[in-house]
Structure 1
């Protein structure tokens, strides 16, 4: 079994529900157990600003799926949510990214681990810190260190919503 951390994001068609539903769908993946789910966090879009704010979260899972099989399963969940890939960093119903798969480093055509850009994205690091601020990202450092490098206001720029996405799985 490997531990993996999945980034979840949505800014279309009731984003909070999209992300909450995706947590439940992650829990149903074969040979996989959902261990932890962060709160939902609100953030400004990374790309074009003429789109709604995003709801983001992170899930920690334990899985027997290899990284590419896990990626395929995540893309199947995105498809269930009618994910369309029309614009880079554009609006989406659901985005699921493998942020980290144990301490594996991978750079292939289909998948890069740790996820590229993770060290600069407060909307990923802040919910990740909620689950484990001491988590080590290969070649990057701990989540806590990466947030400190972004600056004291990094997590104040993304706001946690009051309720947890799901309280039990």
Structure 2
């Protein structure tokens, strides 16, 4: 596994926790990809389009031999398996998967921007990212500094502690 990628997962329709668990199982079955670490699960208020139910969010660190765009293809296949609908921007969804970081690369492709363009503005991403990479920094700013600057931080609550020993095995 030559590359490391951080993936944000979220769900606010149906069996939210079941969708996240199913996503972990799906990701662990992607050829050339292995889960290295998972965050706790957090229940979060919706951001953007707020007329919807609360989300469950987490972050997964994977080792992968896939390119960023190939990994994106696999994650989008997974979203389709979970019947993801894209009718309303930031709207309700059974499962959402976003590549946050991939090694130290910067990518600006019409299909994928890395680092994720809004991740530093979202406590619902930064708090679980801190579980899997507490030392992550942008310039001189720590994750804790960035979390404190987020306007959504009060809407992020621990939902379930996850065993982060050796990663998820499916």
For residues 4 and 143 of structure 1, the distance between their equivalents in structure 2, rounded to whole angstroms, comes to 17
For residues 147 and 64 of structure 1, the distance between their equivalents in structure 2, rounded to whole angstroms, comes to 31
1:85 corresponds to which residue? Answer: 86
Contact 1:20 1:165 in 2 (8 A): no
Equivalenced residue count is: 166
For residues 145 and 69 of structure 2, the distance between their equivalents in structure 1, rounded to whole angstroms, comes to 28
SS of 2:43's partner is strand
Report the TM-score, using the length of structure 2 for normalisation: 0.89
1:114 corresponds to which residue? Answer: 115
Deviates more, 1:14-23 or 1:65-74: 14-23
Aligned counterparts, 1:89-104, within 5 A: 89-104=90-105
List gaps (5 residues or longer) in structure 1: none
- 1:19-59 Cα distance to aligned partner (Å, 9 max, x none): 11101111111101100111110001112222110000000
Report the TM-score, using the length of structure 1 for normalisation: 0.90
Contact 2:58 2:128 in 1 (8 A): yes
Cα shift at 1:143: 2.7
For residues 9 and 163 of structure 2, the distance between their equivalents in structure 1, rounded to whole angstroms, comes to 11
What value does the CA root-mean-square deviation take over the aligned residues?
2.1
For residues 92 and 25 of structure 1, the distance between their equivalents in structure 2, rounded to whole angstroms, comes to 17
Contact 1:57 1:124 in 2 (8 A): yes
For residues 145 and 106 of structure 2, the distance between their equivalents in structure 1, rounded to whole angstroms, comes to 19
**Structure 1 residue corresponding to 2:156, chosen from 134, 154, 158:** 158
For residues 163 and 16 of structure 2, the distance between their equivalents in structure 1, rounded to whole angstroms, comes to 11
For residues 29 and 72 of structure 2, the distance between their equivalents in structure 1, rounded to whole angstroms, comes to 15
Cα shift at 1:10: 0.4
List gaps (5 residues or longer) in structure 2: none
Aligned counterparts, 1:28-67, within 5 A: 28-67=29-68
